[in-house]
Structure 1
Amino acid sequence: MSFYETIDRITADAGIRVWAKSLEELLCKSILATFNEITPIESIPQREERVIEVNSELPFLLADLINESIVLHEAELFVASRCEPLEVREDYARLKLIGDRFDPQKNEPKLVIKAATYHDLKVERQGDLWVAEVIFDI
């Protein structure tokens, strides 16, 4: 996926760096990148929908949204392969996640991500782009 890369400078954890043209796109791409680190999302059909909603200030909004997504994965084995912003501000976001349940018979497991941390968390504008860095507890 060309909208993110893994962060290699971390020894015991994992991380991603994501870039997008808008905050809405950045939030969605960050969630999709997280799910793609759990399992390749191109193999996930778009059969089910979930809505997540978070009130937080940036940059914590991003980590909190990712953590809500991880809760969905842990509780329901849900994996999103598409994300649509429903309402996004710098202190609130409501997103629709579209995907399916993880099936170990069909989907390749990659990382077990426990949480997105606040450590070295970044959400910032760099020129025409929004850029995020997120470190995961694995």
Structure 2
Amino acid sequence: MRLALPQPFEDLDHTADVGVRVRGASAEEVLARLALALGALLAGGGAVHADAEERVAVAGGPGLAGTAVALLRELLFRFATARRIPAEIEIVRLGEDAVEALVATGRYDPDVHGEGVDLKAVTWHAARLEREGDGWIGQVVFDI
């Protein structure tokens, strides 16, 4: 399943940081929505036009929450170093030890994305990627 911006997410009330929570039918859908929530925060509501795609593979763990944190940290690193915002994502493989995704990105434009949140890091605080009822839930807190 390939997802693209915009995707729904809830803001978590967290002092001095930004947290998001998403829900979905599978762990892969939830992780994709977490990645796109990161993109939405970085874009500040501005449209992101995907003009490049690459396969991103990172080691993860412990657990699915650790794998989610690892992928989000890699995407934030790519934003910090290459100014690329995730706009579309497909989780190809997800496990407690690693994740592989196809990620389409768009270039950051200060005129369009200037209202984006200045995210510094992806934290372990309150990180979740787990079954809840009939579906899955994921959440993460970003340091600002």
Please, what TM-score do these two structures have when normalized by structure 1?
0.90
Which of 107, 113, 125 matches 1:107?
113
CA deviation after TM superposition for structure 1 residue 109, in Å: 2.8
Residue equivalent to 1:89: 95
Residue equivalent to 1:31: 35
Contact kept in structure 2, 1:34 and 1:66, CA below 8 Å = yes
Contact kept in structure 1, 2:58 and 2:100, CA below 8 Å = yes
5 Å-filtered alignment, 1:115-126, equals 115-126=121-132
Aligned equivalents of 1:61, 1:89: Cα separation in 2: 7
Q: Are residues 1:70 and 2:76 paired? A: yes
Computed over aligned residues only, the root mean square deviation of the Cα atoms, in angstroms, reads 1.6
Residue equivalent to 2:25: 21
Contact kept in structure 1, 2:22 and 2:30, CA below 8 Å = yes
- Unaligned 5+ residue runs, structure 1? none
Contact kept in structure 2, 1:51 and 1:96, CA below 8 Å = yes
SS in 1 for 2:110: coil
Task: Show CA shifts across 1:56-81 (max 9, x none).
Answer: 22211111110000001001000011
Contact kept in structure 2, 1:41 and 1:80, CA below 8 Å = no
Aligned equivalents of 1:76, 1:67: Cα separation in 2: 14
Contact kept in structure 1, 2:27 and 2:130, CA below 8 Å = no
What amino acid maps onto 2:94 in structure 1?
Answer: V
Q: Are residues 1:52 and 2:44 paired? A: no
Which of 2, 5, 11 matches 2:10?
5
Aligned equivalents of 1:114, 1:42: Cα separation in 2: 20
SS in 1 for 2:72: helix
SS in 1 for 2:113: coil
SS in 2 for 1:100: strand
Runs of 4+ in 1 over 3 A off after TM superposition: none
- Unaligned 5+ residue runs, structure 2? 1-5
Contact kept in structure 1, 2:67 and 2:95, CA below 8 Å = no
Please, what TM-score do these two structures have when normalized by structure 2?
0.87
Worse-superposed segment, 35-44 or 77-86: 35-44
